[in-house]
A and B are shown apart, each in its own frame.
Chain A
Amino acid sequence: DQQVKQNSPSLSVQEGRISILNCDYTNSMFDYFLWYKKYPAEGPTFLISISSIKDKNEDGRFTVFLNKSAKHLSLHIVPSQPGDSAVYFCAPPGTNAGKSTFGDGTTLTVKP
């Protein structure tokens, strides 16, 4: 039973445009949601989080939206840059980030 699903294995966008990455979850007990970015040959790096008591969190070019009723969150990157090309994971950890449940990831390619 996969608790976290990222239904788009890949996404390709043009530099300067918006990238939208989606994540669906089934466990309503998740109370934090994290996004990680992973480059080849490196471990995942924390990107942005959102608490379940909020519906939006913004950090520079990155914004995460949470829709608890739909059990859906999305990551918006505006404007997208070639350096954003990486695999993005949605990973709700509950309260302990070290016990995260990862989705299978979305590979984002930003074309110059």
Chain B
Amino acid sequence: ETGVTQSPTHLIKTRGQQVTLRCSSQSGHNTVSWYQQALGQGPQFIFQYYREEENGRGNFPPRFSGLQFPNYSSELNVNALELDDSALYLCASSWVVRTGGFNEQFFGPGTRLTVL
């Protein structure tokens, strides 16, 4: 069974640029969530995708957007990068039978984004 993988591991961008981060869900999982973890803080929920549709969003502006593909891999896109976007970005996958169902989520190792 393949775990959750993320690419790239590290990324450096400059302010104003756009970035795309990728996540491959654990085999058999249909839900992916993205989190932002700033230094010294806990992960903050960005949004979740369930069966290719957004299923909830945290307190993040619209320049944070995502996609989930039929094979349940996912992308996080951030436009007009700001210095405060520098953080570790984590994705987590889970199997949800219905929206709102409780199931354990499995995290990838994260992508470290630095915005200069």
Which size bracket describes the interface of A in this complex? 20 to 34
Q: Are A44 and B43 in contact (CB under 8 A)?
A: yes
Q: Taking each of A6, A44, A45, which has the highest tally of chain B beta carbons within 10 Å of its own beta carbon?
A: A44
* Residue among A6, A43, A100 making CB contact with B110, cutoff 8 Å: A43
Main secondary structure of the interface of A (DSSP, over half): loop
Q: Does A96 contact B (CB under 8 A)?
A: yes
Structural contact, B101 and A95, CB atoms closer than 8 A: yes
CA distance A32 to B104 in the complex (A): 11
Residues of B within 8 A of A102 (CB): 35, 42-44
B92 an interface residue at 8 Å Cβ cutoff?
yes
Pair B92/A101 contact, Cβ less than 8 Å:
no
B24-56 contacts to A (CB < 8 Å):
31-33, 35, 40-45, 48, 56
A60 on interface, CB distance cutoff 8 Å: no
Give chain B interface residues in 50-99, CB to chain A under 8 Å.
56, 58, 90, 92, 94, 96, 99
Contact check, B31 vs A45: say whether CB atoms are below 8 A apart: no
A102-B40 Cα distance, complex, nearest whole Å: 12
Bound form: Cα–Cα A104–B99 in Å: 27
**Interchain nearest-CB distance for B49 vs A (Å):** 9
A95 with B102, Cβ < 8 A, contacts A43-B4, A44-B90, A45-B107 known: yes
**Known contacts A43-B92, A91-B42, A102-B43; A96 and B100 CB within 8 A of each other:** yes
Q: Does A41 contact B (CB under 8 A)?
A: yes
Residues from chain B with a CB closer than 8 A to the CB of A97 are 94, 102-105
Q: Given A44-B107, A46-B104 in contact, is the A96-B42 Cβ separation under 8 Å? A: no
**0 or 1 for each of A28-67: is its CB under 8 Å from B? (1 = yes):** 0000100000000111111000000000000000000000
Complex contact B107–A93 (CB within 8 A): no
Could you show 26 A-B contacts with beta carbons less than 8 Å apart? A4-B42, A6-B42, A41-B109, A42-B109, A43-B92, A43-B107, A44-B90, A44-B107, A89-B43, A91-B43, A96-B56, A98-B31, A98-B32, A98-B48, A98-B94, A98-B96, A98-B103, A98-B105, A99-B58, A100-B43, A101-B45, A102-B35, A102-B43, A104-B42, A105-B41, A105-B42
